[in-house]
Structure 1
Amino acid sequence: MSILLTRRGFAAFTLAAMLPFSLLTSTASAHGYKLGELEIGHPWSRETPAGAKVAGGYLTITNHGTEADRLIAVSSDISEKGEIHEMAVTNDVMTMRQLANGLEIAPGEKVELKPGSYHLMFMDLKTQPKQGEPFAATLSFEKSGEIEVEFVVNAMGDDPAHDHKDHSAH
Structure 2
Amino acid sequence: MKGRTMRSNILFAAVAAFPLLASAIAAPAMDHQTGHVVEAGDLKIADARVRAMLPGQPSGGGYMVIENTGAGDDRLLSLTSPRAGKVEVHSMEMNNDVMVMRPVKGGLTIPAGETVTLEPGGLHVMFMQVEKGFQEGESIPLTLQFEKAGTIDLELMAGPARGKTSGTGHSH
TM-score, normalization: structure 2? 0.73
The 10-residue stretch of structure 1 (108-117 or 82-91) with the greater mean CA deviation from structure 2: 82-91
Q: CA deviation at 1:100?
A: 1.6
Q: Which runs of 5+ in 2 are unaligned?
A: 1-33
Please give the residue correspondences for 1:8-157 in structure 2 after superposition, counting only pairs within 5 Å: 30-157=35-162
Contact 2:76 2:109 in 1 (8 A): yes
Distance 1:104 1:117 in 2: 15
Deviation at 1:111, TM superposition (A): 0.5
1:86/1:119 contact within 8 Å kept: yes
Q: CA deviation at 1:79?
A: 0.6
Q: Specify the code of the residue in structure 1 equivalent to 2:100.
A: T
Query: What is the rounded CA distance, in whole Å, between the counterparts of 1:135 and 1:67 in structure 2?
Result: 30
Task: Deviation per CA, 1:46-77: give whole Å up to 9, x if none.
Answer: 11122221010100000000000111211111
Q: % of aligned pairs identical?
A: 36
- Contact 1:64–1:109 (Cα < 8 Å) also in 2: yes
Asked if structure 2 preserves the Cα contact closer than 8 Å seen for 1:30 and 1:169, the reply is: no
Judge conservation of contact 1:40–1:169 (CA < 8 Å) in 2: no
Q: Distance in 1 between matches of 2:97 and 2:120?
A: 17
Cα distance in 2, alignment partners of residues 168 and 75 from structure 1: 16
Secondary structure in 2 matching 1:125:
coil
* TM-score normalised by L of structure 1: 0.74
Q: Per-residue displacement from partner, 1:106-129 (whole Å, max 9, x unpaired)?
A: 011001000110001010002211
Tell me the residue number matched to 2:31: none
Where 2:129 maps in the other structure, the secondary structure is: strand
User: Bigger radius of gyration, 1 or 2?
Assistant: 1
3-state DSSP of counterpart to 1:79: coil
The alignment of Structure 1 onto Structure 2 pairs a total of residues equal to 139
